[in-house]
Structure 1
Amino acid sequence: MTAVMRGIRVLEVAEHTFVPAASAVLADWGAEVIKIEHVTRGDAMRGLASTGVLDLGAGGVHVLFEHSNRGKRSLALDLSVPEGLEILYRLVEVCDVFLTNKLPRVRSSLGIEVDDIRERNPNIIYVRGSGYGDAGPDANNGGYDILGYWARSGLAAGASPADLDRLVWQPGPAYGDSIGAMTIAGGIAAALLHRERTGEAPVVDVSLLATGMWAQGAGIALAMRSGVPWGQPAADQLRNPLTNSYRTLDGRWIFLSCLQYFHYWPEMCRVLGRLELVDDERFASFEALTANCAAAIAILEEEFRSATLAEWRERLADFRGQWAPVQNAVEVVDDPQVVANGYVQETSTKDGVPFRLVAPPVRFDDQPAVPTRAPEFNEHAEEILTDLLGLDWDTVIDMKLKGVVA
């Protein structure tokens, strides 16, 4: 049972990834999501492919758009004219959640602020996502995840080694967007529960900046106490040789994270075939191992460079300490744990072209959510207008001729 949101209808006026990916999660969980797109160009994310900014690769599947729009229905509507706005308001009346990432000045000019929406449906959950929050001097400034989530929150500084002459970028496209979207989905779920129990419909607000700060929350808490910004430690500042990364013979990496490092040191010496190191006076006590961390790291670096990653996988298979191979985005999809838990799922385009997407990280009743494809532009206009709103065909055709609906 993964359709825990079945019976919930979501109305989305948003584009790009941050907020649309939130309703994509809800769609994977069974919600009905109606996506309102710009009447001529659609979601700006579609344009990354049509303008050549994004290489769709083999099969021509726009997987970035699919990632954040799977399972939705599309209606292209001109919200700048009264007829289009009235259609939106009528949809508001039959929806549980209104979701947007429009800036405050845009929401005001369009007539989709909280009061505007609540006038037509006082019980709707109003949700807004932004770069920097809905208050403050930068509330009307747009911001992508690499700005609000990564750069401004402290994450980029915390991830970049002090001796590197450039900042480390996010590890993938829509990285902060996707984490922020999951945060929004959780906020919506909590708001729906609150409405069910109290009858009150909250306003939900999530920003990329706040999400990045939460992700770095432990580091920020320590920085506020010490007055020292959190950052990557220099090599000579390390105190734990078993929480570090080590390069293998074939140029790959192993990451160790044994917080109780003296406890696991003897077993690591066994794995390395260096049992004499257990009684070495440099490493024979917690204090000695900590004081001689650099020497221990040098030994580990030499030993790990003596075998390939595949060989180390075998040698570390029964190691009780905590470790992981460093995998890339191609390798991870075939990881046995990923396969066993269904973390990647198969779907296909409208034309039947198969592709795979990462499922939402939350499983219900031991089952992964299985995504369906994203909609074609304006694909569901007629059924939304006629079946859901009860408009007759003459009215729909008239709106199409006027350009109110694509």
Structure 2
Amino acid sequence: MAGIRVLEVAQFTYVPSAGAVLADWGADVIKVEHAEKGDAQRGIVKVFSQNVGEEGSTFSPMMDGPNRGKRSIGLALEKLESTRILHELIRSSDVFLTNFLPSARAKLGIEIDDVRAVNPRIVYALGTGFGHSGPEADKGGYDSTAFWARGGSADSATPPGAQFLTAQPVGAYGDNIGGMTLAGGIAAALFTRERTGTAPTVDVSLTGVGAWATQMNVNLALVNGGPLPKFDPVAARASNPLTAVYRTADDRWLSLAMLQPGRYWREFTERIGRPELAVDERFDSAEKLMANAAEASEIVAAALAARTKDEWVAAFDGMEGQWAVVQNTHEVGQDTSLRAIGQIADVVDAEGVTRQLVGSPVQFDREAPQLTRGPLFAEHTDEILREIGVTDQELLNLKIAGAVT
């Protein structure tokens, strides 16, 4: 995306994470922040009882993650003095990216017609909670409400009889999935513009992303005429002992996903030190194994519970059947496969300290993106304004008027 400019008027994580992906792909992303307040997410100091930054450091995963590689300009869109600057930025951009609600877009002059009046060839991309139109178009939402709750994941992940609803497993879970989806839509829109000369609009809602993530079960529910039964891990073991999750001796978990148990059973029994199970008359064919799956799963559970996670990692090395360790978030950051392709990437913060961030998962020519840190608040205001021809005196006047930072 070198040579593509994205003008982002958005805050928090969902839509800014789309801008981060485009920046990973080489686009020049200009992040417009309110001239005094900045992105509201800059004000968050604690998440899940953890500080989002360190004392004496400007680096914050909450900001640098969804804003890596961008430039920041402080611009008070509500002030008339900022209009010319906004229009110059729109005129010089290929994509206008926002998550502001309709009332705010109308008030600030950044609705589709406003933006297209300045630049008819611009791709207008909008991330919403519940849709670009319809009864909830003006309703705000976060991924916990629009993606997780409304999209079907929360109910599906909560066992019957649970005292509490299962929460999203990590922060910004739906936001980052939605951001990648929105970035893909923008890429397709730019491709369309290149081929036809017409720039389409792009709309992605978090509820829509949530429904897409759960589409297999939603589709089955539509056929069934009602909600599906909740997933029961015990019942899953009872139908195929090699598609289940088992606890190890050190209270870790292994996830097995061998959908063809007859194919993998013999080698699996050898790897767990029970080769006699492959010729046991209860399990010596795929049909028998499935018919006696509950009994087989009890044997497998006992075998896997006898050794530690690390011991099983060594024992299963090179095994044909599909399996994985259930990793915690720190282990994901150390994952050997992710590091081998450069997806856990170095980034130097404003103080010169090397940090690490997860890179976006799409790679081109098998090269990992080279990440740069997220911008400090309004860090590039003067630089960007001079690029569009603002003189020093005009810049001073704009600052006096409070139109720019």
Q: Normalised by the size of structure 1, how large is the TM-score?
A: 0.95
Residue in 1 aligned with 2:30? 34
Q: Which moved more, 1:318-327 or 1:184-193?
A: 318-327
CA distance, structure 2, for counterparts of residue 336 and residue 9 of structure 1: 34
Query: Are residue 89 (structure 1) and residue 71 (structure 2) matched?
Result: no
- Residues 334-353 of structure 1 mapped to structure 2, 5 A cutoff: 334-353=334-353
CA distance, structure 2, for counterparts of residue 276 and residue 394 of structure 1: 86
1:19 match: secondary structure: helix
Runs of at least 5 residues in structure 2 that lack an aligned partner in the other structure:
none
After superposition, what is the alpha-carbon deviation per residue over 1:101-151, rounded to whole angstroms, capped at 9, x for unaligned? Answer: 001121112111100000000000000001111111111111101111111
CA distance, structure 1, for counterparts of residue 376 and residue 25 of structure 2: 21
Deviation at 1:346, TM superposition (A): 0.6
2:51 match: secondary structure: coil
Query: Are residue 191 (structure 1) and residue 194 (structure 2) matched?
Result: no
Residue in 2 aligned with 1:377? 377
Deviation at 1:393, TM superposition (A): 0.8
Cα 1:50/1:394, change in 2 over 3 Å: farther
CA distance, structure 2, for counterparts of residue 29 and residue 39 of structure 1: 28
Residue in 1 aligned with 2:399? 400
CA distance, structure 2, for counterparts of residue 71 and residue 220 of structure 1: 37
1:370 match: secondary structure: coil
- Residues 5-404 of structure 1 mapped to structure 2, 5 A cutoff: 5-49=1-45, 55-58=51-54, 60=57, 61-230=59-228, 231-236=230-235, 238-387=238-387, 389-404=388-403
Contact kept, 8 Å, 1:161 with 1:234, in 2: the verdict is: no
Contact kept, 8 Å, 2:12 with 2:41, in 1: the verdict is: yes
Deviation at 1:56, TM superposition (A): 2.8
Deviation at 1:398, TM superposition (A): 0.7
Structure 2 letter corresponding to 1:242: L
Q: Which moved more, 1:73-82 or 1:153-162?
A: 153-162
CA distance, structure 1, for counterparts of residue 35 and residue 96 of structure 2: 19
Structure 2 letter corresponding to 1:108: A
Structure 1 letter corresponding to 2:148: W
Cα 1:13/1:298, change in 2 over 3 Å: same
2:45 match: secondary structure: helix
After superposition, what is the alpha-carbon deviation per residue over 1:230-249, rounded to whole angstroms, capped at 9, x for unaligned? Answer: 43225235411101111100
Cα 1:228/1:243, change in 2 over 3 Å: farther
Structure 2 letter corresponding to 1:34: I
Structure 2 letter corresponding to 1:286: A
2:198 match: secondary structure: coil
2:244 match: secondary structure: strand
After superposition, what is the alpha-carbon deviation per residue over 1:249-283, rounded to whole angstroms, capped at 9, x for unaligned? Answer: 01111110000012211221111222222233332
CA distance, structure 1, for counterparts of residue 364 and residue 349 of structure 2: 26
Deviation at 1:335, TM superposition (A): 2.1
Runs of at least 5 residues in structure 1 that lack an aligned partner in the other structure:
none
2:14 match: secondary structure: coil
Cα 1:57/1:87, change in 2 over 3 Å: closer
Contact kept, 8 Å, 1:162 with 1:234, in 2: the verdict is: no
Contact kept, 8 Å, 1:78 with 1:85, in 2: the verdict is: no
CA distance, structure 1, for counterparts of residue 46 and residue 252 of structure 2: 37
Deviation at 1:162, TM superposition (A): 2.2
Contact kept, 8 Å, 1:48 with 1:54, in 2: the verdict is: no
After superposition, what is the alpha-carbon deviation per residue over 1:143-196, rounded to whole angstroms, capped at 9, x for unaligned? Answer: 101111111101111222224322222221111111110111100100000000
2:44 match: secondary structure: helix
Structure 2 letter corresponding to 1:233: D
